[in-house]
Each structure stands twice: as C-alpha cells, then as structure tokens.
C-alpha cells in the first residue's frame, strides 16, 4: 500500500515539473521555517509573560532534539532503504544513503508542531500545515515512502507531548530561577523583568 501511494505521488511529480524547484527546496530547507516558528512561539510567550506558555516555548526545541535523538537508533534498527535507492524508473529530486524509516524531517516537524500547539493554538495550526506540506514534499522528491513520514510525524508529536508532561514541573522551576537573574529578559518583557512583581509571576 505504501509503495502504491508513493508511486501515485511520484507520477504526480512526473506530471508537475514546474513544481520541482519549490518542493525540492522546501523538502531540503523547510527546516528554516520551523526554526522561525519556534522563535515566534518564544516571542509570543515572552510578550505575554505567561509561565505555562513560556515553559512550553522553552520545551518545544528541546523536545524536537530529543525526538530526533530517539529516532536515530530506531531508523538504524529498521534500516529501510529509501525509495530513491530501491525503485527504478522513478522521478528522483533528492536522495541520500541513510535509512528511510522514520523520516528525520517528519520527526522534527511533528515535534515542533506538538510543542507549538502547547504554546499557542494558532501557531500550532500553522506548524501543522507546514508539517503536512513537509511530509508530502519528502515523498514528492522520492526521499521517503508515505509510511516513513507518517511514522515520523507521530513519533515526533508523541515524544514532544509526553516529554512536556514529564518535564513541565522542572521547566517551571527553572524559569522562576531564571526570572530572578539578569537573563530574565529572555522570559518576560524588559519592563516586567525589571520589576519584582514581574519576576514573581515569571
């Protein structure tokens, strides 16, 4: 089933050469968009000076890195060959020699989406849209099968959500301590960070 869907997407890629530069560029460099979204999440949480929101904003990139770290041994153990290396006569816009399942890019996208959903619902929805496009783009360029990106999205989101539930109390304590230092501007606007009341709320 996964191969059949992949071939359908690949046939679509064959029929849309005008889309190749866009999809190839996003499949390779779309990670920059997710970095921007993470910064936006931190900025929103900082401006609102909301401890719960800031804890989620701090966790989002951490959860992403942990998810990627967890994915590495899983991918090595499964050791699935990428479609661009396994199938012949297909359109290939991007290829690599490492394992295909689960997709690192999809794990990253899933983790960031889940993390930002905890920060701000609209930002999370925007990240979800970017994640879906990333997943499709990775299949479109022939770097992954559909099951690779679906598993990646699920793994990234699960690690981010479960990790936050476990780490939230510690994150809140760290942020309270940080608010009492010169780095308090990182978790609250300057006018709030400089006031004792503002530090207490952070």
pLDDT digits (tens, 9 = 90+) for 42-95: 888 877 777 888 888 889 999 999 999 999 999 999 888 888 888 888 988 888
180 lies in some domain: no
In a domain, 181, yes or no: no
Question: What pLDDT is stored for residue 139 in this prediction?
Answer: 94
74: in domain: yes
- In the numeric block, which tokens belong to residue 169? 């109390």
Residue 188 resides in a domain? no
* Rounded average pLDDT over 1-7: 84
Asked whether the CA dihedral 129, 130, 133, 138 is positive or negative, the reply is: negative
163 in a structural domain: yes
In a domain, 56, yes or no: yes
- Considering the entire predicted model, what is its pTM? 0.84
Structural domain of 21:
2-168
The number of distinct structural domains making up the chain is 1
The reported pLDDT for the residue numbered 189 is 55
139 lies in some domain: yes
Residue 47 lies in a domain: yes
CA–CA separation, 159 vs 138, rounded Å?
A: 21
Cα dihedral sign, 16-20-21-25: positive
């Amino acid at each position: 089933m996964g191969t059949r869907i992949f071939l359908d997407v690949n046939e679509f890629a064959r029929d849309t050469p005008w889309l190749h530069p866009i999809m190839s560029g996003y499949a390779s460099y779309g990670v920059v968009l997710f970095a921007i979204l993470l910064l936006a999440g931190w900025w929103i949480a900082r401006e609102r000076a909301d401890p719960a929101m800031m804890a989620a904003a701090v966790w989002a990139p951490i959860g992403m890195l942990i998810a990627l770290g967890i994915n590495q041994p899983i991918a090595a153990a499964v050791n699935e060959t990428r479609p661009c290396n396994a199938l012949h006569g297909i359109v290939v816009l991007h290829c690599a020699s490492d394992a295909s399942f689960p997709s690192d890019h999809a794990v990253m996208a899933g983790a960031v989406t889940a993390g930002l959903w905890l920060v701000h619902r609209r930002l999370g929805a925007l990240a979800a849209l970017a994640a879906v496009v990333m997943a499709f783009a990775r299949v479109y360029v022939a770097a992954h099968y559909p099951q690779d990106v679906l598993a990646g999205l699920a793994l990234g989101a699960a690690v981010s959500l479960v990790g936050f539930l476990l780490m939230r109390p510690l994150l809140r304590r760290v942020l309270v301590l940080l608010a009492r230092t010169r780095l308090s501007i990182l978790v609250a606007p300057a006018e709030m960070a400089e006031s004792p009341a503002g530090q207490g709320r952070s």
